[in-house]
Structure 1
């Protein structure tokens, strides 16, 4: 297996593990939202901390799910032309799209959100609601983290596309095996 594919598989493992964790986050989010509804409409009560926890989990699922969506192919793609392309052309589209669009976008998000998250960490920002959860700075830190995980998964996609391109080109550029030379016995007609 090529080093490119080994690296891609390692990054895919990270995306799969994140996706599994986010599945549990989604279950917790559904259960907590059900508890909020039960408290509000069934018991005439409520909890701002529970509502904040649903928002925090939703943010975590959305931001950290970006890389998992790319890994599973659940991201937005204009499939009108892509699905009809040959594997080689798909690899070109994936490689160029990753280099021209995805990685620069990830860099833009990471650079743009770094100050936003750092300012929140500097004051240890908490919820503006009375009784809300502390740790808004952790939630804001998910933005540059999401950009980083998405960029890593983008690198895995790029590695896979490059391996596909090298495999196709390698097959055409590899010298052919020399024609079988007749043995000495065949040469003399035995």
Structure 2
């Protein structure tokens, strides 16, 4: 029995050693992969070459790309640990990016309401089956096209405003435990949540969403299990086949845009997870006086403070 346990322990240690070695190798190779991609942009950005398209598809969801991003995160974290203002600068840039994108695409909610009002007026009052919008070259589509397009505006708000809502504190938090713990414990929970939940979730959504997107843009359809050499072989028969099928004959036919938004959502969540981790770490180190430091939160104006944060 003891001999079997010893053999099992050796196997576990060997597996851990191999895992650490593989991690170090991939981190080391990420410098080469990034440098090669930057110095040879035509190999993946010259889309007049079908092989370049397939390389772009492969590397966008590849292990190599993941470790380039992961290594960049490690280097940025190391710089921030050595020089704290750099980490605060990263927080301000990432939160500023989330706020800028969110504040812009939040207007899609207003656009959605206005378009719905237009649809009701045109369909019920003017009894028209279509709407023509444009100057010189009008965009004339059936009413059902504009009605189904409302889902795109809703998707914009959901996917591109998620990080903005997190910065503003408008996300839903289960406070049964979080609200009663100490200041530093909250910061630890935020750091663990960013590393264990936000980042892995964003990576998984990106990996599945990336190939899900391209399977609706080109044929032959790429697969997440395809190696680069197989995709390069498929590139001989590559052609664009952008998804334009709607749920109804005259309905909205730009559903490939939802796949793009899915990848954008994953990217926004991953970047903001870095900001959450950095802010929590810095507030943990500097104490309660640094809480919400440099935080750019929206305000309803003077006299409306009682309503802020009530959402």
Matched, 1:109 2:109: no
Matched, 1:157 2:276: yes
Whether the 8 Å contact between 2:99 and 2:163 is mirrored in structure 1 is no
**Gaps in structure 1 of 5+ consecutive residues:** 169-190
Q: Which runs of 4+ in 1 moved over 4 A?
A: none
Which residue does 1:55 correspond to in 2?
A: 151
Q: Between Structure 1 and Structure 2, which shows a larger proportion of helix residues?
A: 1
Cα offset, 1:82, TM superposition? 1.5
Distance in 2 of aligned mates of 1:120 and 1:66: 25
Which residue does 2:87 correspond to in 1?
A: 4
Cα offset, 1:39, TM superposition? 2.2
Which residue does 1:44 correspond to in 2?
A: 127
Cα offset, 1:31, TM superposition? 0.3
Normalising by the residue count of structure 1, what TM-score does the alignment of the two structures yield?
0.81
Which residue does 1:33 correspond to in 2?
A: 116
Whether the 8 Å contact between 1:48 and 1:130 is mirrored in structure 2 is no
Whether the 8 Å contact between 2:212 and 2:259 is mirrored in structure 1 is yes
Whether the 8 Å contact between 1:63 and 1:146 is mirrored in structure 2 is yes
Aligned positions of 1:38-187 closer than 5 A: 38-46=121-129, 47-122=143-218, 123-128=241-246, 129-168=248-287
Normalising by the residue count of structure 2, what TM-score does the alignment of the two structures yield?
0.51
Whether the 8 Å contact between 2:101 and 2:161 is mirrored in structure 1 is yes
Distance in 2 of aligned mates of 1:75 and 1:121: 33
Whether the 8 Å contact between 2:187 and 2:283 is mirrored in structure 1 is yes
Distance in 2 of aligned mates of 1:98 and 1:75: 14
Distance in 2 of aligned mates of 1:157 and 1:20: 19
- Pick from 6, 23, 38 the counterpart of residue 106 of structure 2: 23
Whichever of the two has the greater Rg, that structure is 1
Cα offset, 1:162, TM superposition? 1.0
Whether the 8 Å contact between 2:102 and 2:162 is mirrored in structure 1 is no
Distance in 2 of aligned mates of 1:135 and 1:59: 13
Cα offset, 1:141, TM superposition? 0.9
Distance in 2 of aligned mates of 1:25 and 1:127: 23
Whether the 8 Å contact between 1:22 and 1:61 is mirrored in structure 2 is yes
Distance in 1 of aligned mates of 2:122 and 2:151: 17
